[in-house]
A = this chain, B = another copy of it.
Amino acid sequence: VDWVGDRPVIIDQTLLPHELRMISLETVDEVIDAIQRLAVRGAPALGVAGALGVALACRLGGDEADVRAGAARIRAARPTAVNLAWAVDRVLARLPDGPDAAVAEAVGLLEADAAINRALSERGADWIQARVAGPMAVQTHCNAGALACVEWGTALGVVRSLHLRRGVREVFADETRPLLQGARLTAYELGEMGVPYRIVVDGAGASMVTRRLVDVVIVGADRIAANGDVANKIGTLPLALAAARVGVPFVVAAPESTIDPATPSGDAIRIEERDGAEVLGASAPAGARAYNPAFDVTPADLVTAIVTQDRIIEPARGDRPA
């Protein structure tokens, strides 16, 4: 995600790993479309894209009411990742100081992202290396890498930091149905990093953990409730259940902006339901229906550690993020 010529520029993640195409978003509708069809995805990247979308609305002219109307539509484009609403609100808060102030706020969020992710990744790597002997095998789910952020990554940022310390033997990446962010994006990023990896089906992740084929589970988050419950891509919960059973650390890597003090617990997190057609493909019988929740909630007592740029929170030991 970048800001070039007063326009948000994103990598169209739907085309990866086979094509790396940058697209410049010219209208608020294009920003919303890119968010909804997951051309830009990942909680931190959604936050920055939302902020830059509001900046775009400022630069397209129109009065403050127009900008606020566009911002409200961007804010509602996807419901679960709190970073989107958080970043839009951050930019809107500067709007009374004029469009230039709002744009500067958005660009500031963009520029801060890399440093935030690098800081949380180093902190996470420190915490893990103090507890897990290396070189280690890591289980992850979905994509919480550079593609999900501006650069470096959150969960894959921790992997990147561990890898630079020669601390990673192999990563097992859940393919992450229905949209295969693991098989497409995480695999692509790990290949670029030079980290050995294998893809597994989502059903395999839990037994990778209980068979002790992995030493640590590291995932990102879309929203962390005040009590430490974690919403993340559907299929995260099985890894946490398995990890708790056998005492493997389950680590959530996310910026502070993913923690939502206004959400008391996971029960209050709205889980986005997406089109069943994403699940069905060509294999199901004619007339088949699907239920397609995009996220699940991992209860706080299963979360060994939440790693942010500022701190380590240990919900399973009773720590509360907010």
Contacts and interface: CB of A to CB of B under 8 A. Distances in A.
Given A177-B177, A287-B191, A201 B241 contact: no
Contact of A202 (B197, B203, B292, B293): B203
Nearest to A302: B245
Interface in A185-233: 187-188, 191, 197-207, 210, 233
Interface string A160-189: 000000000000101111101001100110
Nearest to A196: B289
A174 B203 contact: yes
Contacts of A202: 177, 201-203, 235
Contacts of A43: none
A207 B240 CA distance: 12
A236 B202 CA distance: 11
Size category of the A interface is 35 or more
A279 interface: yes
Contact of A17 (B174, B178, B284): B284
A138 interface: no
A242 interface: yes
Interface string A46-66: 000000000000000000000
A96 interface: no
B284 A183 contact: yes
Interface centre among A141, A293, A299 (most CB of B within 10 A): A293
A292 B180 contact: no
A238 interface: yes
Interface string A258-276: 0000000000000000001
Interface in A121-177: 141, 172, 174-177
Given A187-B288, A207-B293, 15 more contacts: A141-B203, A175-B177, A175-B283, A176-B203, A178-B201, A183-B284, A191-B287, A199-B289, A200-B290, A200-B293, A201-B234, A202-B202, A204-B296, A210-B237, A237-B242
Interface of A: 17, 141, 172, 174-178, 180, 183-184, 187-188, 191, 197-207, 210, 233-238, 241-242, 245, 276, 279-281, 283-285, 287-293, 296-297, 299
27 contacts: A141-B203, A174-B203, A175-B279, A175-B283, A175-B284, A176-B203, A177-B177, A178-B201, A183-B279, A184-B283, A197-B288, A198-B290, A199-B289, A199-B291, A200-B292, A201-B202, A201-B279, A202-B203, A203-B203, A203-B233, A203-B234, A203-B238, A204-B291, A204-B296, A206-B206, A207-B293, A238-B242
